[in-house]
Amino acid sequence: MNKYEVLGVVGEGAYGVVLKCKNKETNEIVAIKKFKETEDNEIVKKSIQREVKVLRLLRHLNIVELKEAFKRKGRIYLVFEYVERNLLEVLEASPSGLEPLYIKKTIFQLLKAIYCCHQHDIVHRDIKPENLLISNASVLKLCDFGFARSLTAQTQDLTDYVATRWYRAPELLLSYSNYDKGVDMWAIGCLLCELTDGNPLFPGENEMDQLYLIQKMLGPLTPSQQETFSKNPRFLGMKFPEISKPETLEQRYLCKLPKRAINFVKGLLKMEPSERLTCRQALKHQYFEDLPEAMEFMKELDLQIEQEKRQVSAGVNRTAQSPTSQQNVIRTKTSFKVPNYLGQQLNMQSTAYAYNIQQQDQGQQQQNQQQQSTMKKTQSIDKLIPQYKDTKVGFVSDTNKIKISGSQFSQQQFAIAKQPQSIKIQNLNIIYNSNTFNSSQKKGGAQTKK
């Protein structure tokens, strides 16, 4: 903290305080999250680890930038770009709701941020006005990734108590241990309605009340949801009151939202998660047709979709042309993203891979030569990284056992090539700087997606 001058307190929470600071070396204004002592608090440590790992992965204009992370005297500090206010403060300044065009631009920026998350199979799980920062130029920045979770992580069961109650989807309220990206889309629908008239759409006082308010406007729970409700010990012996005067979205927002906006919200607030608009579908919705920045983004999105289709088609053709796909399977298992700071392991990996592929095609008359050569290669690899080798290719496969320290903050880059990077919580040893990280990525040939 020596290189930062504290200018004031931005906000306080249960786990610590957010400070407005100035970098003495660059005069840059930043926001620093200063956590309380975290050595004995596993919940806080896990939240910090998630936030750091996710924000290192997600680089986007509409996602707050993590500049630095460090630890001093048992406390953890996260240094972010400074953004002037959050959406809750904007709402408090306009208690009757915001202008329709401002709402549309805000929601579109949020969708772009969430699209970046979902492209990496990450759900935010805590979308609410407080977690949406707004700059003086009206640029939205999604923040607070302490509850973010990778859907490709090894642990299958997901926590149900995550999002703030008012923005929580039915499957979260019912304690589903398996849910998907639809929980973020539900929260966006709730948020849009709140921005319209300044009032939360479903301001439930508890889970039971929250479910009642949802059904009062959107209709009953689905059969599977009703079954889950009846079996949940949390709701044992409880029944919902009769809904005598249901209120539809059209009735509540008749004079406040245009028809396209209401249709958009209805697409987000489906009781059945699989029926909700995906983030990609939401970005292409008619609601945004008259937004100039949306039209430009649509062209980029269509180009990306077309490129994905070509890649899938090319992959199918390659598979069809290669009936014996042994080599492809081996390549999938052994193509790791190896960090530069592991030295010559990348070259050794390529050597081991090429060597073993060649061996599969040789005849039985060269068996003795193969065994001698295999022993030589295995010995070389054992010297490089002992105890971690795959019996098929003579190279590391259980990479989670390798402990990487230093400025990369336990960087998990040994994920299988072209697979989404999972967010696996490891021991907290934070020394992270965005400039250092980006520089090392560029040297390694990695491209950061904006």
Query: What amino acid positions are annotated as catalytic residues?
Result: 126
Strand order in the sheet with 132-134: 85-86, 132-134, 140-142
* Burial per residue of 132-155, b for 16 or more beta-carbon CB atoms within 10 angstroms, e otherwise: bbbeeeeebbbbbbbbbbbbeeee
- Give φ, ψ of 77 to 5 degrees: -125, 130
Please tell me the number of Cα atoms within 13 Å of 189 on its side-chain side.
27
| H helices, E strands: number in the chain | 15, 11
**Is residue 128 a known part of a binding site?**
no
Q: How far apart are CA 409 and CA 421, in angstroms?
A: 15
* 433 closest CA partner among 25, 10, 9: 25
Q: How far apart are CA 87 and CA 188, in angstroms?
A: 13
Please tell me whether residue 136 adopts helix, strand or coil conformation.
coil
DSSP 65: P
Q: Give one DSSP letter per residue of 218-283, joined into a string.
A: H-SPPHHHHHHHHH-GGGTT--PPP-SS---HHHHTTTTS-HHHHHHHHHH--SSGGGSPPHHHHH
CB 333 within 8 A of CB 390: yes
Query: How far lies 329's CA from each of 33, 357, 396, in Å?
Result: 45, 11, 16
Q: Which two tokens stand for residue 160?
A: 């149900």
List residues forming the annotated binding site for ATP.
34
List residues forming the annotated binding site.
34
